[in-house]
A = this chain, B = another copy of it.
Amino acid sequence: MRPGAELTVVLHQTRSPDNLGAVCRVMANFGFERLILSEPVVQDFSAAERMAVKSGHILSGMRVAPTLAEALQDCVYVVGTTSRTQVVRRSPLTPEDAARRLAEESTRGRVALLFGGEQRGLSDEDLTHCQDLLVIPTEDVQPSMNLAQSSAVLLYLCHRQGLTDAPVVPREEEPGARLGTLGALSGRMRAAMLAADFLNPEAPEHVLHELERTLMRARLTQREAELWLNAFKHLVRAVAPGTSRG
């Protein structure tokens, strides 16, 4: 699904302006724009603006539909979000599968992600409008998610589905540390730590190697290795002024 292309978010019987505003914000975060309120419980949602940070365009473009049927009428596919306890005789999708289905179905036309009201969720009657249900798996101690938070989880997944495998950040790897530099570093570490009475002069290797191994594991860049080398050059000069030419 190209973010925003075909997904409609439908909030059914929503009550809280805060939730409405927060849903607008997360829609903007993830590139979705079509929002429909169906059969809202409260009519005055002006308070939603406070939470709809940088997403006022979604709030002002929102449609209000008197019934769920009207809200969904131009969609080809609807997934209803529900909690485990509401699912009767239907196998719910996982959130990831639902995001995948929404993306697939969006090639055919508009698709909707439907959320129920804060107090009762979606009724059996509401669910008859949905081709599929989805359940966000939660723990028994608190199975019910906040509306704005469940929308965050699901819109994130829909967005990811659209992005799929696109590289998030083009990583340009810096050149790795050359062994010559690491060898020089090891020599300075030994000198400084011997002069500081940290290493046992009879058998310095064991502890020194243990420290060196931690730096190997860090997969230093050449730049970082040079930084460490330079630090230990200074330390050697300071600890044992006569013994090193820096």
Which residues from chain A sit less than 8 Å from chain B, CB to CB? 3, 18, 22, 25-26, 28-31, 51, 53-55, 87, 91-92, 94-95, 135-139, 141-146, 148-153, 156, 159-160, 163, 168-169, 171, 192-193, 195-198, 207, 210-211, 214-215, 217-220, 224, 227-228, 230-231, 233-235, 237-239
Contact = CB atoms under 8 A, between A and B. Distances in A.
B207 A142 contact: no
The DSSP consensus for interface residues of chain A is helix
A194 to B, nearest CB: 10
A163 B96 CA distance: 13
Contacts of A139: 3, 28-31
Nearest to A26: B149
A29 B138 contact: yes
Contacts of A196: 231, 234-235, 237-239
Contacts of A210: 224, 227
Contacts of A29: 136, 138-139, 142-145, 149
Contacts of A92: 168-169
A136 B146 CA distance: 20
Contacts of A237: 196
A235 B198 contact: yes
A81 to B, nearest CB: 13
Contact of A91 (B87, B171, B230): B171
A217 B224 CA distance: 12
